[in-house]
Structure formats: structure tokens, C-alpha cells
A = this chain, B = another copy of it.
């Protein structure tokens, strides 16, 4: 077993204090995700990283392309492999994509040069991950790929590390947002596969060439990676069985619905046949199945095993923001893990304190007023609220009970807590109001 090298971000003396030296990054690939990452690095003062990160070198297909971020201050490399092996970087961030070609060559070059690699490239990890992991292990450096599975959902580290005390029996999920949008929207709108695919393309949920998504290949890449971790199995992508949603018709969905099932593209890895069976296919789920009601373009992963039971993680499976935040979580792992406090705080973080809620904070409220059933009682309630400047959104008065008390439920428009307190104090003065008024805050979506 190779011994791991020291964490790449070393601790240095500065003005009599120990601080972490900045972590120098080389980023290859400056599309939406790469630019999203640079934007995030630019506002790292608002984040919770263990130390400072710096972009020192970048590489992309075109240097001159119009981008939302300024890259003039970073050393430019025409060749990603040269950047990967550059002495001027501590870690290599691969956001180029593609299972072969320049991405693979650059990642290998980085690992060979003893540089840790962070990648969002699911095709590369699914198809060549085992060999790359072996190379990383020989070199004693990290190969991290949180962003390769389910975008912003932190499932890679959860499954690999947090849940390593669970004997996993199944890992399953909805791992392709495009496919889930297609089947959800076809059934909801009664439109055909082709019509909804065109809509998804116009909304940016599907690529101009949607093959990688609708064939199930993208979900297969992700579930192969999850299965390798869940079962400590060598990743062998050639064994993954896959079928896409491209053959599913509106009539299939409707007939299944009438018999009590939702058809969705499900990816799963299960312990079976003395090994790991890994497959992606449209599957029919009873309405009560935990994945049956996941609609739209979200990703969901469910991990089952003993003695845990099951946990489910849901969130945005794609997009520059979620993907960049997952890459940042991996970059943070390259720092010495013990230099932050138990709660993760560090001196350079924005300092915040626990404070009480202000009475001026705005929210809508639900009130339950108990009213003697007498003439003018409700008018008194309305007046008390008006005097406190609390305006009513909805009101329901029900019949009086045996004690001649009517329950009145009120939903207010957003107002200050102090206004509600004032209104409740006024209500308590009314003869018609019996019992204390129940006040429940309405939580905004």
C-alpha cells in the first residue's frame, strides 16, 4: 500500500502565525462550468474553504472566445497536458469533458507528475476511472470527482466516506434530468416524445444532440461510478446494461398510469448474482415508491443498506452553479483536513453570530382565533387586525361547536412580527375572543 503524500496545501509561517499557503490551481476547460468555477473562486471570501485558492494557469480550446470572466491574469496553456504537469500548479482541475482524447491525456499527465486531480467528467471516470484510480494510488495523490455524479448533490463523498459503515444492498436513482423531464412532461401535458424533446431543447434542458442523455448513457456513467463505490467493486463499464427513454411512448406512460405505475428512467446498482448488477432502463414504479414522485429535471439518489435503512439525496443534477460548487467541495478536500475547527469555521471566514429574530422581520402568519358565536364578533376581529395594520389574505369561519365557540382561521399578508403581536394583544381584549389566539408563522417556499 502506497503511503499518501502530505496534503498539497502546506502550512507556512507568516508574520509569526501559521497559515495555509494558497492552493494553486490549473483549470482546463473554460465552458460554462469552468467559468462558473472561476466566478466562484473570485468570491471565495464569502465561502467556507479551509484556505485560499488561486488560479495560476488555464487552458481551453480557444483563448479569445468571449467569456463572462476575465482570464488575462492567468498563465495561458494551449495544451492542457502541459498545464497539468506545470510546476506552477498544486492541483489540476479537469473540466474539458470527453472520455478519451485531451481530457484523458491531461489527467494522466497530472497524476504522473504527482498532482492531485479534480474532475467533473463522468464519461472519463466511468470508462477509465479504474486505471486512473490505480495510477493516483501509485502516485499517492487524490483523484476526486464529486461533480461527475448528480451535479450539486454531494453523493460521492456521502457514499464513499460518510456511509462506509453501511453494507449497501442497492444504490438507485434518477440520474438524468433530461429523461425525467421528458417522461414527467409527456404524461402531464399529453404530448408526444418528439414534441416534449423539442420543448426541452428550447428550454436548455436537452442538448441539440440529446443522444447521450436519452440513450441512458449519461445515467449509466453515473450509476457505474456510484456502484463501484457502494460495493468496493472494480469499475467495469462494459458490464452496465442500458436502455434509454427514446422508445417510450405517451401511450406506454398512460397505460402504466392507469394501472398504478409511473414509468421513469431508473439507474441502479444492486448486490446480486455474486457480484454487482448495474443497469439503466425505463422502469415502472408504484405510485408509493420513493422515486415515483420525483418530477421534472432534478436528480435523486437513494442508498439502501444495513444497518442504515435508506437515505435519499435530491438536488440539481446539472448546471454551471451546482457543478462548480461540487468542484469547490473537492478542491477544499485537498487542504489539510484538520486545520478548520470541528464546525468547519476558520479565521478568514466572514464572521457571523447567532442573533435573535427581529420583530420587524416580515412573514405571513396563520392565526386561529376562537370566537363566541355572537353578532358582530367577526367584525371586531377584522377591526383589531386593521388597527394593527395586519391585512387579511384568507379567512375561514366554521360553525360553532357545542360550547358555542366558532373557530376562525386567518392567513395574513406578510407583515412584521410586531404587528402580529399587536393584533393578538388587541384580540385578547375583545369579549368575543375566548382562549389564546394561536399564531403560526408561514414558511416561505
Task: List CB contacts (< 8 Å) of A330-346 with chain B.
Answer: 331-333, 336-339, 341-346
Q: Is B136's CB under 8 angstroms from A396's CB?
A: no
Q: Is B162's CB under 8 angstroms from A256's CB?
A: no
The digit string for A292-305, where 1 denotes a CB below 8 A from any CB of B, is 01000000000000
A370 → B minimal CB distance (Å): 9
Bound Cα distance from A5 to B146, whole angstroms = 27
Q: Does A263 contact B (CB under 8 A)?
A: yes
Q: Does A347 contact B (CB under 8 A)?
A: yes
A307 → B minimal CB distance (Å): 3
Task: List CB contacts (< 8 Å) of A278-311 with chain B.
Answer: 278-279, 281-286, 288-291, 293, 306-311
Q: Is A312's CB under 8 angstroms from B309's CB?
A: no
Q: Is B312's CB under 8 angstroms from A314's CB?
A: yes
Bound Cα distance from A261 to B444, whole angstroms = 11
The digit string for A133-172, where 1 denotes a CB below 8 A from any CB of B, is 1101100111111100000111001101111111100001
Task: List CB contacts (< 8 Å) of A250-297 with chain B.
Answer: 251-252, 255-256, 258-259, 261, 263, 266, 268, 271-279, 281-286, 288-291, 293
Chain B residue nearest to A227 in the complex (CB): B354
Q: A347-B1, A409-B256 are in contact. Are A136 and B342 (CB under 8 A)?
A: yes
Partner of A129 from the list B172, B266, B332, B343 (CB cut-off 8 Å) is: B343
Q: Does A198 contact B (CB under 8 A)?
A: no
Total copies of the chain:
2
Q: Does A207 contact B (CB under 8 A)?
A: no
Q: Is A328's CB under 8 angstroms from B255's CB?
A: no
Q: Which of A66-74, A78-86, A356-364 contacts B (4 or more CB under 8 A)?
A: A356-364
Bound Cα distance from A341 to B268, whole angstroms = 22
Q: Is A134's CB under 8 angstroms from B341's CB?
A: yes
Interface centre among A167, A281, A307 (most CB of B within 10 A): A307
Q: Is A36's CB under 8 angstroms from B261's CB?
A: no
Bound Cα distance from A308 to B240, whole angstroms = 30
A355 → B minimal CB distance (Å): 4
Q: Is B236's CB under 8 angstroms from A140's CB?
A: no
Bound Cα distance from A351 to B236, whole angstroms = 14
| A278 contacts across to B, CB distance below 8 A | 354
| A1 contacts across to B, CB distance below 8 A | 11, 17-20, 339, 347
Q: Is A339's CB under 8 angstroms from B4's CB?
A: yes
Q: Which of A40-48, A375-383, A422-430 contacts B (4 or more CB under 8 A)?
A: A40-48
Q: A284-B442, A286-B445 are in contact. Are A255 and B165 (CB under 8 A)?
A: no
| A154 contacts across to B, CB distance below 8 A | 158, 162-163, 311
Partner of A160 from the list B225, B285, B343, B354 (CB cut-off 8 Å) is: B343
Q: Does A24 contact B (CB under 8 A)?
A: no
Chain B residue nearest to A44 in the complex (CB): B165
A275 → B minimal CB distance (Å): 4
A314 → B minimal CB distance (Å): 5
Q: Does A26 contact B (CB under 8 A)?
A: no
Q: Is B445's CB under 8 angstroms from A261's CB?
A: no
| A3 contacts across to B, CB distance below 8 A | 11, 18, 339
Q: Does A352 contact B (CB under 8 A)?
A: yes
| A113 contacts across to B, CB distance below 8 A | none
11 A-B pairs in the complex with CB atoms less than 8 angstroms apart: A1-B11, A157-B157, A157-B161, A232-B344, A233-B345, A234-B354, A235-B354, A252-B368, A255-B368, A271-B352, A285-B442
A48-B164, A165-B331, A275-B352 known; 20 new pairs, CB 8 Å cut-off, are: A1-B17, A3-B18, A47-B164, A154-B163, A160-B344, A164-B328, A164-B344, A165-B326, A224-B354, A229-B345, A234-B353, A249-B438, A255-B409, A258-B409, A261-B366, A283-B442, A284-B440, A285-B442, A310-B315, A312-B313
